[in-house]
Amino acid sequence: MDIPTVSRWLGHKDGGALAMKRYGHLRQEHSFAMIKRVSFDKPEVIVSQPKPAETETGKSSVSADDRRAIAKAKAKYGYPWWVSENPLEVFWGQIHETVWIVPVEKFLETAKQAMGRQVFKQEFADRPALADEFSARTPEATLNEILAKIPAQRPATASCAETAAS
């Protein structure tokens, strides 16, 4: 948040001078944290998520069976990891789920953030290997926090790769 805006919210009349004097040093820390999240490199693989087709009535083309399957999958969890801002939680939840709850594009992005490397769609075929790699890359305390929220569930025989390929 920019300092002049916060200053106005606080009722300061000095245009942010006091806030800048007191909290200006935090801007550099914030900038360094944000720069780590930005990449100007061209991604090796670009996977686009198809948008649901809209009918004249405005309803999406997702079938009733798909909606029921997603609802049933979500009902298994006490914690809604699919809407989490934490990419580690989204990755861990989806890698252990047989139903695609998050769009493939979002999963690929969270996978990249969680694994610290580009994750390719073809790797979905071996989800246990991805889960093992994630466990090896993630500090034990962090992994324990995630497991407390999202217990690992053994995926059924239908794989994410099969669903993503269709």
Give me the mean pLDDT over the 109-137 stretch: 90
The structure tokens listed for 96 are 């252990």
Bridge partners of 54, per DSSP, are: 60
Phi-psi category of residue 158: left, alpha or beta, with phi > 0 → left and psi -120 to 50 → alpha? beta
Per-residue CA distances from 73 to 13, 54, 66, 137 (Å)? 53, 24, 10, 27
Q: What is the pLDDT of residue 164?
A: 46
Give me the mean pLDDT over the 113-131 stretch: 89
Nearest to 164 by CA among 119, 131, 116: 119
More confident residue, 161 or 67: 67
d(CA 50, CA 27): 38
Contact yes or no for 81/150 (Cβ under 8 A): yes
d(CA 138, CA 135): 5
Q: What is the pLDDT of residue 154?
A: 53
Per residue in 6-45, pLDDT (tens digit) is 888 888 888 888 888 887 777 777 777 777 777 766 655 5
Q: Is the pLDDT of residue 90 over 90?
A: yes
Tell if the pTM clears 0.75, that is, is over it.
Answer: no
Q: Is the pLDDT of residue 60 over 60?
A: no
Q: Is the pLDDT of residue 147 over 80?
A: yes
